[in-house]
Amino acid sequence: MATKYFTDDHEWISVEGGVATVGITNHAQEQLGDIVFVELPESGASLTKGGGAAVIESVKAASDVYSPIDGDVSEVNSALETDPAMVNSEAESGAWLWKMSIGDESQLTGLMDEAAYNAHIA
């Protein structure tokens, strides 16, 4: 069973079997509007907590996506390169952005759970 956490910057991170999957929240995609381009990190890239990892471009503007934790990128969702609008339709499922290793387990404890995130955006 995966455990899902949320950041102040509207990323979600789902952890299962030592692998973390990262995306942006449904609330974030609503705020961004129609998404037309997603720039993903390189597979193998080392990310640091709070560092820019991806860029999502909507018709309005470009927005950074930050890595919620330290770790190395193991896989990216290349389907988004041809169909960026998936982020609008399935932000918290099929439109995950990248998978990564968990460099520092303790960084997860500082993140929000779903109830706390819902209160954060309310």
Name the site residues for another protein (rule: CB under 8 A).
Answer: 33-34, 36-37, 39, 55, 57-60, 62, 81, 84
CB of 30 to another protein, least distance (A): 9
In angstroms, give the least distance from the CB of 105 to another protein.
Answer: 31
15 phi and psi angles, rounded to 5 deg: -115, 125
**DSSP label at 66?**
E
- Work out how close the CB of 16 gets to another protein at its nearest, in angstroms, rounded to a whole number: 31
By beta-carbon proximity to another protein, the closer residue of 81 and 113 is 81
Distance CA 19, CA 61 (A): 31
Sequence-distant (6+) residues with CB within 8 A of 63 are 32, 55, 56, 57
Q: For another protein, which is the closer residue by CB, 61 or 115?
A: 61
In terms of CB distance, is 54 or 73 closer to another protein?
A: 54
With beta carbons less than 8 A apart as the criterion, state whether 12 and 22 touch.
yes
